[in-house]
Amino acid sequence: MRRIPLVLLVPAMLALAFLALPVVALLSKVSLSELPERLRDPLVLDALRLSLVTSTISTVLCVLLGVPLAWVMARKDVPLRRLMRVLVVLPLVLPPVAGGLSLLLLFGPDGVGGRLLESLGLGLPATTAGVIVAQTFVALPFLVLATEGAIRSVDPRMEGVAATLGASQWQAFRRVTLPLAMPGVVAGVVLAWARALGEFGATVTFAGSVPGRTETLPLVLSRALKESTAAGVTVGVVLLVLSAGVLLLLRDRWWSLS
Amino acid sequence: MIATSGLIASVVTRRGDIDIDVSLAVAPGEVLAVLGTNGSGKTGLILALAGLVPIESGQISYDDRVLDDVAQGIHVTSADRNVGYLPQHAMLFPHLSVLENVAFGPRSRGVSALDARRDATSMLSAAGLTALIDRPAATLSGGEAQRIALLRALAFTPDLLLLDEPTSALDVAARTSVRADLVHRINDFSGATVLVTHDAVEALTLASRVLILDGGKVVQEGDVAEVVRRPRTAFVARLAGLTVLSGTAREHRVDLDAGGALIVGESSHGRVLVTVSPRGVTLHRLRPEGSARNVWPVRVSSIEAVGDLLRVSLDGEPSVAADVTMSAVAELGARPGVELWASIKATELDVYPA
């Protein structure tokens, strides 16, 4: 192999160190003797359970809503396609707190959506459902963009052949397009789930911080840090282990092709 | 254009820069070849027949069933057309096994997975392809993939079979076996077949009738052997790998419009076309002494590979092409600009009224 030019090697190594060192710093602060006890803290355990449940439900919602949207964007010559793309990317660039505020204005007690839900006896703010809505809002773009790219990379002539074989558009999508796009969809699922798990700004703004109901791990982390760094480290490590664990779990099956 | 059953189509559509305007009829059991170069509109035509692209005007029907009628606003989708379509690059579903590929059509049409698999299995074993049944489609060779794609297209007994350059993407060995397979399958097929190709040999082997497409329009039509042997335009001649020359005949001598004259075997009078097969033309470094009646000086303009021979294009009176072996080219020192002598026997030339 030819040697990597220094002008590229040095920044590349710096970038790697920049990404790795904070993680090392976090891990170095873990006191192994205190960790088991801190992990048994019911506040942490409740938050962990809540985070796992909400981020998983959000990811499922992202798939159910996002995959069809990705297909429409990749395959159909619909009007306002550019606008669609802007709308999809918006939650990605919008500061999460502003996203949470927007959700609050729509679904809060004074919002159009909120009044509609209230008439049905439902309310989102300060509920676990609200957490899920906030997480879905910020995670959906990741799923849609990854899936759209994957669907675009499937040769549309494959769908044409499926059609001549008698497949409806839905059958062609389910039996040909989706399986061929699956690696991209899975990448989108992982990204969306990780984004939902780490969600803080939109959640705290829209759903508030109610222990056991809306206080997910990142919210507990923020509160714990106000008490002491040591308390925060525990929660931070739990989040780190969860995210890294999912990446490692999926690596052998889907990541390895890259 | 008299057909009471089978495919009847009048297609006006646009693909890229080409305006396609073609009428055709194919009876059940008949194979029509549509012969044309890239950009002749033949792919657009086949996609329209498959229902994959809409037509701008015209009609397509099979037997009594209207598939497209722009005036009446009828467009039957590909899925409802009962058309078997074999694309150029097989386009097998790479994530499915060979068996699931062949069973795809029947399953999409509501046959139970169990029955579809059983039928596909017996189809594959009848074709001698049992060994491939469980192979992922992505692992097949080009020739294998094309043979499986053909079975997949026929698995639901379509009315109409559309073949899009079925062997042009294959190497020579695979081409031979796929072509043999095609001949066999088409013989057993009771519906109409449309074969789109740029390969005159493919048209000759598989089709009985040919339609020559140029710039989206039909320029010649008829019995395939007749069209390929006696092309009416330089375009058709090129597709058939022949040179066609126009001229005026007086008994055995034809004075050519582009200059020069040829002695031909058959006596005739008046306006004629003469076809020269590149295989009949012999090249010499010096003026040959021999029995050939036609000998004239030429200059090499270009050389390209055609199968395992080299086609040497020659400027002269007349300008023709010669197919010669690699070693002959080396021996003659033939390269663009080199001056040589060409000869052809009078009996090698085909003469027919213009």
Give B241-261 pLDDT, tens digit per residue: 788 888 999 988 999 998 888
Those of residues 77-136 in A touching chain B at CB distance below 8 A are none
> A256: pLDDT confidence band, cut at 50, 70 and 90?
very low
> B109: pLDDT confidence band, cut at 50, 70 and 90?
very high
Say which amino acid occupies A8.
L
Give the C-alpha distances (Å, rounded to integers) separating B311 from B150, B276, B314, B322, B323.
33, 13, 10, 6, 4
Those of residues 117-156 in B touching chain A at CB distance below 8 A are 152-153, 156
Nearest CA in chain A to B80: A166
Separation of alpha carbons B28 and B194, rounded Å: 11
Q: Which CATH class is domain B7-92+140-234?
A: alpha beta
% chain B with pLDDT above 70: 99
Backbone angles phi, psi at B263, to 5 degrees: -95, 125
pLDDT in the model for residue B3: 47
Nearest CA in chain B to A166: B79
> B2: pLDDT confidence band, cut at 50, 70 and 90?
very low
pLDDT in the model for residue A174: 95
Higher pLDDT, B97 or B287: B97
pLDDT in the model for residue A258: 42
Separation of alpha carbons B15 and A208, rounded Å: 57
CATH number of B242-353: 2.40.50.100
pTM of the full structure: 0.79
Q: Which domains does chain A have, with CATH numbers?
A: 54-213 (1.10.3720.10)
* B303 shares contact with chain A (CB less than 8 Å): no
pLDDT in the model for residue B88: 87
pLDDT in the model for residue B230: 81
Q: Where are the beta strands (DSSP E) in chain B?
A: 7-15, 18-26, 31-35, 57-62, 65-69, 74-75, 83-86, 160-164, 192-197, 209-214, 217-223, 243-256, 261-276, 282-284, 294-306, 309-316, 320-324, 339-344, 350-353
Separation of alpha carbons B261 and B263, rounded Å: 7
Is B136 in a helix, a strand, or coil? strand
Residues of chain B with CATH 3.40.50.300: 7-92+140-234
Separation of alpha carbons B268 and B180, rounded Å: 40
A159 pLDDT more than 90: yes
Strand partners, B250: B253, B269
Residues of chain B with CATH 2.40.50.100: 242-353
Chain A residues with CB-CB distance to B156 below 8 A? 165-166
Q: Helix crossing, B142-154 with B113-126: angle to 10°? A: 130
Q: How many CB pairs under 8 A join A and B?
A: 59
* Residue reference for tokens 């039909």: B218
> B22: pLDDT confidence band, cut at 50, 70 and 90?
very high
Nearest-CA distance from A189 to chain B in Å? Answer: 20
Check residue B204 and report its DSSP letter.
H
- The stretch A55-81 carries a mean pLDDT of 93
